[in-house]
Amino acid sequence: MKKPYLIAIDGPAGSGKGTVAKLLSKKLNLNYLDSGAIYRLIALSAMEKKVDLDDEKDLVYLIRQVNINFIDGQSFLNNVDVSQKIRHEVVGVNASIIAKHLKLRKEILTFQRKFFQGNGLVAEGRDMTTVVFPNADLKIYLDASVKERAKRRYKQLITKGKDVSIHSLTEDITARDRLDRERIHSPLSIASDAFVLNSDGLSIDQTVYKILKLITK
């Protein structure tokens, strides 16, 4: 594996790319970028400050004021650890809503690219393979069916004692897919040079193994 090495992973919500990317970065001793967390942090800040999610100008102004940090896998907004808060469903939906603004996306481009240093990086999100790191050494589009993703999310939430239905989770996932795939700027799409991996029926370890095999090829 050449150094520095850059792995870019895109895929829809719940495809497992977060867990897979994190594990890969540990195994390969590379940095890790959860780009979705950046959008979630901005969305959370907008919610707290009651900024209109459709107002691109105000959101850009907000980004320039906030301080976003990742330390030891935790997410900080203005030096407050909000790692749990940004995982709430409503923050995810709002992150997807603000992600449609081109000027906002441009504001965070340089910030995201700075994570590529040292030995390299595993970056995951929606436009890692297409816009942020178009020259990545390895590009993966990690997919999974809506049914499988809803099932995984259901298991996660039930374990946490949450009362949810598969039906409503399926609807939420379908709605978010639509937002992420149909927006004009940097929509979720499959890069022409990406390997498409469907994780239906695969464990996290099996998925990681498949990617490691692609690296050694």
By CB under 6 A, name the binding residues for ligand DC: 13, 35-36, 39-40, 92, 95-96, 99, 125-128, 176, 180
**Looking at beta carbons only, is 16 or 36 nearer to ligand DC?**
36
CB of 98 vs ligand DC, minimal distance in Å: 8
**Residue 161 beta carbon to ligand DC: minimum distance, rounded to whole angstroms:** 22
Smallest distance, Å, CB 37 to ligand DC? 6
Measured distance between the N- and C-terminal CA atoms of the chain, rounded to whole angstroms = 10
The 10 Å Cβ neighbour count of residue 207 is 23
* For ligand DC, the closer CB: 126 or 139: 126
CB-nearer residue toward ligand DC: 127 or 143: 127
Residues in the chain: 217
Q: How far apart are CB 27 and ligand DC at their closest, in Å?
A: 21
For ligand DC, the closer CB: 40 or 139: 40
Given the complex with ligand DC, which of 16 and 125 has the nearer CB atom?
125
Least separation in angstroms between residue 91's CB and ligand DC is 8
CA distance 184 to 145: 23
Residues 6+ positions from 100 with CB-CB distance below 8 Å: 179, 183, 184, 185
Q: What's the Rg (C-alpha) of the chain?
A: 17
Asked if 36 contacts 95 with a C-beta cutoff of 8 angstroms, the reply is yes
Left, alpha or beta for 145 (phi > 0: left; psi -120 to 50: alpha)? Answer: beta
Q: Which is nearer to ligand DC, 1 or 198 (CB)?
A: 198
Q: Strand pairing partners for 6?
A: 121
Q: How far is the CB of 85 from ligand DC (least distance, A)?
A: 13
Residue 44 and residue 86 in contact, taking contact as beta carbons nearer than 8 Å: yes
Q: DSSP readout, 96-161?
A: HHHTT-HHHHHHHHHHHHTT--TTEEEEEESSIIIII-TT-SEEEEEE--HHHHHHHHHHHHHHTT
